[in-house]
Structures are given as C-alpha cells and as structure tokens.
Amino acid sequence: MDTATLVQTLNDAAAKSGSASPPEKMQIFEACSKLLSTVEPFEHNLMNLIFSPVKCIALRLAIDMQLFDVGAKALERGENITLEQLSTETKCQALLIKRIMRVLVNLKLFNEVDQDVFQPQRVVAMYKTESMIAQVILHFTSHQREIVMLPEFFAERGYNCPDDAFDSPFQYAVGTKQHQFEWIAERPRMQHAFNITMTMRSQGKFDVPWHEMFPIDQLFTQKMTSDTFMVDVGGGIGHHMITFKERYPKVPGKLVVQDIPAVIETVKDLPDGIEAMSTDFLKSQPIQGANVYFLAHILHDWPDKQAKLILEHIRDAMGPDSVVLLNESVMPEQGVPFNPALADIVMMAAYSAGERTEKQYQELLDSAGLKLVKVWKSPKSVGKGSLDSAIVEARLKYHSVVGGVIEIISNHVSIGYEVIIKTS
C-alpha cells in the first residue's frame, strides 16, 4: 500500500470511528499506537515525553483563568472569540493568554482561525471551571509537585520504595508532617476536586460500577447480625452507596457511609436508608457485624503498614458471615498497561502507596487475618490501557471462639462454609 492510500484509509477510519464501542475504540487506539511507534521520529517522541507535564499545567492554568468558561459561552452563541475578548472577560493579561492558547490550539481544544482569533471546539464545554473534568484536572495536577521531586527524594533517601504514609514524597515536597488527606481537608477547593474525582469513578466514568462486577444480590438473603447491611469505609460523600441504592432500592438493612469529619460535613441530601458517619479507619471500626465492609479505591492510597491496620480494624468488627469487598485496580504480574503503571507511580509519590497485583492483595489480606476468596472482573471492562477496576472478595481467615479457633474457608459467595475447628 502506497503512502497516499494509507493516509486516506486512516482518514476514512477516523471519520467512521465515532460509532465504535469502547472496547472497539481501544482496539483501534492500540493499532494506531503501534503504527505511530513505527513512523514517529525519535526526536518528536522524545520532545513529546519531555513536555507532557506542560500540557497538564496549561490545562490547569486555562481552567484557573476561566478561558474555557468564556470559550463555552462563545460556543453557545456560535461565535469565534478574540484574544482581546478573552483578556477582557477573564481580566487576565493578553500575552499570558496568548501563550496558553498556543498549547490549547495544539491540543485541538480551539481552532486558530486568524491571528488572535479562536474557534472553540465542542469539547471546550467539558472543561468549564465547575465541570467534573476540570475538577479531575485540578486534583491530579496537584500531584505534580511531589512527582517532580521524586528524583531528589530518592537521591537523598536511597532507592527504595517509600513505605510510610506519613513520610512520603508528598511530605518531602511540601515540607509538612500532615498526611495528604489532612492537607487537602484544610483546602476546600482541593477537597471538592478530590470528592468530584471519586464521584466520577463511582459513576462509571473511568471504569465499570462495582456492583456490576460482583453478585451482591446473593448476599441479600444472608442472615443479618446487625441492622447495617453495608459499610462504605472511606466512602467520601456517598457516591458509591447512592448509585448502589438506585440499582437496589430494596436492599435489606442500612447503608452507612464513613469518612473523616471534613468530608462528612460536605455530605448533603442522602437518600433514605443511607447514613453518614464520621470515623477514622486507622482506628477501631465502630459498626460490628455488618454483612459487607466495602472499600473503594482506599487501599491503593496506603502502603502495607497502614493498609494492614485498616483491614485489621475491619476484621475485628466482622461477624462470621461478613464479607470484605475491595474495589481496586488489580495489576497483572506481567504486561501492565501504561495508565495503571503511571497511576502506580502517582500513588507512590502522593501516599507512599501504589496499585497491587493479586498476589500482593493475597499477602496483604493474609497478614491481616483475612482470606482472599476471589478477584471479580467485569466482561464490560474497557481493557488494556485503562484503569479498569476489580472486586477483591475476602472473608475471615480465623474467627476466635472460646477454647479454640475456627478457620473459615469460602471459595464463592453462593457456597456455604467448610468449617475446621482447631484447638488453640
């Protein structure tokens, strides 16, 4: 195939790819990536890597300066917008705006139709100041501080993975003894951005909703030893429980959302059957014997030292039939896709934590007296290159009784227990 024909074929495919499903789009993307890797000049690829952080910061500045808000208004009017208009409406210097707009044009967010005249693209509205996308960018660009400092951190401390949430690259970069969550809680804008980012995950914006991966309805008929069916440990503003309640309005028992006071104070208008509770999951779990203890994207924020403590507090509160469900990205042992590999570095820089493999979850759970039963994944997952989540199901490994220890073994939620009684 000659070059002209190949280019035409690619252009035709681009025009028709909009109707493809997410997995099909991922397949197309991977094929294009392979092609790009063979034709992209080395120097171009190198410069793209070097300047990648600048793209995110340019987006963050454009959000802070409300360039997207002004652009979205022009889009609604069906008009182009001039540099002078952008400067007047945002009250920002024209020269600074012009320099940022050069990046936004190359990111295909605006077309440069004439000198200092821009045509906003439809996607611009998604980046407005209060949009979910803008909040996600605000949240993740805040991590660049500690990421940039990683070389200095390791050069000074030695090249070993940090293993203490209170002595991480974040504390090193910022010069604080606070955990990042404490630091965020004192900054309302950052706390809001974090809450929105977590809400997007719970709504399936980044991955499949957790209750589509795990047969949670099989637990509805399980004997209840508490008036609480599920505890959402570190559940933020209740996004996971709200979507779960919408899917299963007749769930037996209460749903309880737990988080630190600074987060719970922002919780508003929870549906009937869902309660909010201020707690610290590094301390004792106050709700005993719930059917389910659910943790969504919690343990990847904590190194093994603190993650083990979190799980031990839950273990101590569990009844014999309680189940722990961890909604996390579970990395393969080999061939980890790019985005999970990058996310793992972000977690290391921000929290001394990281994404884990199934083996690592098994070892972590075992250290906390829990047994990994099964890792549940969804057939709807986008696949390679994404941050697809899974559900790690765990049960009590040992349950203390008078005069002995009961070891509980369960292979599936729909199968009963094999109980082995051991003398202590």
Q: What pLDDT, on a 0 to 100 scale, did the predictor assign at position 25?
A: 79
CATH number of the structural domain spanning residue 89: 1.10.10.10
Instruction: Say how far apart CA 170 and CA 349 lie, in whole Å.
Output: 6
Residue 287 is assigned to a structural domain of this protein: yes
Residue 361 Cα distances to 160, 228, 369, angstroms: 20, 26, 12
Residue 162 is assigned to a structural domain of this protein: no
- Same-domain status, 352 and 229: yes
User: 390-396 and 274-278: which strand pairing?
Assistant: unpaired
Q: What pLDDT, on a 0 to 100 scale, did the predictor assign at position 1?
A: 64
Asked which of 83, 111, 129 is the last residue of a domain, the reply is: 129
Q: What pLDDT, on a 0 to 100 scale, did the predictor assign at position 380?
A: 61
Question: How many other C-beta atoms lie within 10 A of the C-beta of residue 331?
Answer: 22
Residue 98 is assigned to a structural domain of this protein: yes
- Same-domain status, 224 and 372: yes
Residue 6 is assigned to a structural domain of this protein: no
Domain count across the chain? 2
**AA letter at 49:** L
Q: What is the pLDDT of residues 117-141, one digit of tens each?
A: 999 999 999 999 989 899 989 998 9
**AA letter at 111:** N
- Same-domain status, 394 and 270: yes
- 3-class SS at 157? helix
Q: Is the pTM of this model over 0.85?
A: no
Instruction: Say how far apart CA 281 and CA 233 lie, in whole Å.
Output: 7
CATH number of the structural domain spanning residue 292: 3.40.50.150
Q: What pLDDT, on a 0 to 100 scale, did the predictor assign at position 228?
A: 96
- What domain range is 260 assigned to? 197-423
Catalytic residue among 300, 313, 399, 412: 300
Judge whether 192 counts as a catalytic residue.
no
Residue 105 is assigned to a structural domain of this protein: yes
Low-confidence ranges of the chain (pLDDT < 50): 384-385, 401-406, 408-424
- Same-domain status, 121 and 210: no
Asked which of 129, 155, 187 is the last residue of a domain, the reply is: 129
Residue 283: is it exposed, middle or buried by C-beta count within 10 angstroms (0-12/13-18/19+)?
exposed
- Same-domain status, 118 and 201: no
Tokens of 399: 């349950």
Instruction: Say how far apart CA 230 and CA 237 lie, in whole Å.
Output: 15
Residue 370 is assigned to a structural domain of this protein: yes
